[in-house]
Amino acid sequence: MMKILFVFAFITLFCLPLAQAQDIRAEEVVFQSGEITLAGTLTLPDGEGPYPAVVLLSGSGGQNRDGEVEGFFPGYRPSRFLAEALTPEGFAVLRYDERGIGQSTGEHHAASTADFADDAEAAIAYLLSRDDIDPQHIGLIGHSEGANITAMVAARNPNVAFAIALAGSAVNGYDLLIAQTTAGLEAAGASAEEIEAALAMGRAEWDMVLNEDWAGLDALSRQIFAAMPEEQRPAPEVQDELIAQQETFAKNWFSFFLTYNPADDWANVTAPVLAIYAELDTQVPLEQNFPKLKATFQAGDNLDYSLVVLEGTNHLFQSGVKTGAPEEYTTLKPEFTPDLIQTITNWLDEHLENY
């Protein structure tokens, strides 16, 4: 889930067959990422270890260990869905509250994707410290921004044995926002004039961030507050607090997001990669990102990559999708299409057979 407007030779041999375990155990765990304490849940298969393991990396917006964003789509818990599907298949699965969320410390709005990548490496280090985890078989699965984090970490950390990206972008954030805004508004039935007006307004804000024009960003925010109906307008002191938080967010997460291109990191990933896209995704549009990532791998040395498109799905990998617009999310069941889990486990099975 994006937090702006709307805003992946596999591992050598697994010792544990995927279908061996049927029951799972859950442990509440804490680990350190610098001065940040991260709290999460580690689910473990039944039977003896050491187990292959997966770290789950959630998308943008402050998400807890289940992948939930407060106030957004109750019941949709993507990280929990993945953990409960993969642990019975023989994987230990670690998911955690993002910094500043739930039981984890820190300030979420003051962190960038690079900070979240440091947290992901801390999660890997924690797994490496456990005797019941196979240190040769630790992988990452990331959704949306989590896919970007997966690319960053897999490109630099030799302990990453495989990488799975779900709805991950392959262009910089500025270009993504243009395509995202256009696709979302088209799906909602907006006219060409309305789309161009929205893009102009968006570019004005994005350019301020790129140019570090914080005074201009402040003024723009105050104009927006002033245009609101008086009964809906926050008190002046609340406006000041919100604007200060926005500036902190813009200087950290958003400025990094606008210029970071995950394809640059994917080009340096040597571990096996599975990238899954959604056909009707309006937040990470297929037609923009799928060919970019495919070209990145075709031009590189990593021959073990698979790119898959799930038909009739949206950014959240739901079924029954008609438009793919974010407004449609809550009209659909808060669950994955079965094809998503099947695609992941099939890929893992194939690699078990080949290595």
**pLDDT tens, residue by residue, 303-324:** 999 999 999 999 999 999 999 9
User: Does position 10 have pLDDT exceeding 80, yes or no?
Assistant: no
User: Does position 11 have pLDDT exceeding 60, yes or no?
Assistant: no
> pLDDT confidence of 252, banded at 50, 70, 90?
very high
The residue among 287 and 15 whose pLDDT is bigger is 287
pLDDT digits (tens, 9 = 90+) for 106-147: 999 899 999 999 999 999 999 999 999 999 999 999 999 999
Q: What is the pLDDT of residue 71?
A: 82
Angle between helices 145-156 and 113-128 (to 10 degrees): 60
Tokens of 328: 């449609």
CA distance 38 to 42: 12
pLDDT digits (tens, 9 = 90+) for 72-110: 888 999 999 999 999 999 999 999 999 999 999 999 989
pLDDT digits (tens, 9 = 90+) for 43-75: 999 988 899 999 999 998 899 999 999 888 889
Instruction: Point out the least confidently predicted range of 149-158, 211-220, 307-316.
Output: 211-220
CB atoms within 10 A of CB 331: 11
Q: What is the pLDDT of residue 72?
A: 86
End-to-end Cα spacing for the chain:
34
User: Does position 355 have pLDDT exceeding 80, yes or no?
Assistant: no
> pLDDT confidence of 23, banded at 50, 70, 90?
low
Q: What is the pLDDT of residue 349?
A: 76
The residue among 229 and 12 whose pLDDT is bigger is 229
Closest alpha carbon to 170 in 271, 269, 74: 269
Q: What is the pLDDT of residue 179?
A: 97
Average pLDDT in the 199-209 region?
Answer: 95
Residues 151 and 165 sit within 8 Å (Cβ to Cβ) = yes
User: Does position 9 have pLDDT exceeding 60, yes or no?
Assistant: no
CB atoms within 10 A of CB 219: 13
